[in-house]
Amino acid sequence: MKLYEYEGKLLFSKVGIKIPRGIVTEGNIDWKGKAVVKAQLLEGGRGKRGLVKVTDDVNSTIQEMRKLGINKFLVEEYIPHDREVYLSMILDRDSAEPMLIASPHGGIDIESSGNVKKFIIPIERGPRGYDIIEIEKYLGVKGLSQVIQGLYKIFTEFDAELVEINPLAVTDNGVIALDSKVILEDNALYKHQDFLKEIGREYSPDSYVELDGDIGIIGNGAGLTMATMDMVKLMGGNPADFMDVGGGADRERVRYCVIKVGSNPKVKKILVNIYGGITRCDEVALGIVEAYDVIKKPIFVRLVGTNEEEGWKILKEHGINFYENPIDAVRDALR
């Protein structure tokens, strides 16, 4: 999920990265003094297209941009500064570790800058003082500790694919993030529903389709989930949904999916069919148990694969029916 600039800056403020004072608006506002008006679009190159403007007449600038079909704007105080630098954090695919990318030259032409350096920050330790000193020396800027720690925190705790500040303004009062670009991992959005609600977005997994029946269906993988639906139908039942938890689902994802399916008032029983490869059966079992405490509906679980015995033990301890054979699970669910 791509975040709008103002949404990314909200994350920045949560982790202590300084941002300009600003207002999000769809129309005219009461603003006195110099400001920067920025069209809020989920795409880059706004500066080159005239969609970021420094102005003394905010409302006239907004009206000009509205003629181009823009309907949401971020109006911020103008920040005088002498230097701009670039900082971002992504995943280094070779080492599978967070990687901070830095350049002493920020702004709209960063793509053409050859002066870029990469710093690997191992996830088992996070940014240390010596990392920050090395980055500050390279950029020739002091006081970056909060920014670097903040980028790392967003990247790891919010499951980001990219966290970018371009530019980071260097001022007499420290550094200020003048822009944000944040992309969150779609498959991890279920972990961050409080933040999504805060910015007015709703998480709804693409893998969930509600149907007319009363047997909740959950599987891992589209093929296995559809096969489970077919078994239910062939044996005289009626599926209430299609829900694929996906590969490698952890307890939080499983818990979310079971509660989502179980919250449908038409669902009388829930059938879970998991074949664990990269998906660990003990994690699945823990997620089911946590969800069961919430929904209090009968759950029938076919669970085989990685750590299956640990998963069976967890389910047995909580009185949840489990099976090795999916046909047995379907038969009991339809009784």
Q: Tell me: the pLDDT tens digits for 144-171?
A: 999 999 999 999 999 999 999 999 999 9
Residues 305-331 have a mean pLDDT of 96
Cβ(31)–Cβ(58) below 8 Å: yes
Q: Which fold has domain 207-334?
A: Rossmann fold (3.40.50)
Residues 170-175 have a mean pLDDT of 95
Model pLDDT, residue 207: 78
For domain 21-77, the CATH class is alpha beta
Token pair in block for residue 214: 């009363």
Model pLDDT, residue 111: 63
Determine the Cα angle at 44 with ends 40 and 50, to 5°: 70
Residues with a known catalytic role: 86, 164
| Cα–Cα distance, 17 to 257 (Å, whole number) | 34
Model pLDDT, residue 43: 82
Model pLDDT, residue 142: 96
Spans of all domains in the chain: 21-77, 83-199, 207-334
Backbone angles phi, psi at 62, to 5 degrees: -60, -45
Model pLDDT, residue 69: 87
Model pLDDT, residue 186: 79
pLDDT at 39 over 80: yes
Cβ(161)–Cβ(90) below 8 Å: yes
Model pLDDT, residue 85: 97
Confidence of residue 203 (pLDDT cuts 50, 70, 90): low
pLDDT at 108 over 70: no
- Cα dihedral 289, 295, 300, 301, rounded to 10, equals -40
The DSSP result for 49-117, as a single string, is: TT-EEEES-HHHHHHHHHTTT---EEEEE----SEEEEEEEEEETTTTEEEEEEES--STTGGG----E
Model pLDDT, residue 204: 62
What are the tens digits of pLDDT across the range 117-129? 999 999 999 999 9
pLDDT at 92 over 70: yes
Confidence of residue 208 (pLDDT cuts 50, 70, 90): confident
pLDDT at 249 over 90: no
Same fold, 21-77 and 83-199: no
Q: How many DSSP H helices and E strands does the chain contain? A: 10, 16
Q: What is the CATH number of domain 83-199?
A: 3.30.470.20
Distances (CA, A) of 237 to 164, 174, 209, 231, 268: 50, 65, 17, 8, 12
Residue type (1 letter), 314? I
pLDDT at 271 over 80: yes
pLDDT over 90, % of the chain: 82
Token pair in block for residue 124: 């088992």
Residues 208-228 have a mean pLDDT of 94
pTM score: 0.69
| Cα–Cα distance, 86 to 91 (Å, whole number) | 17
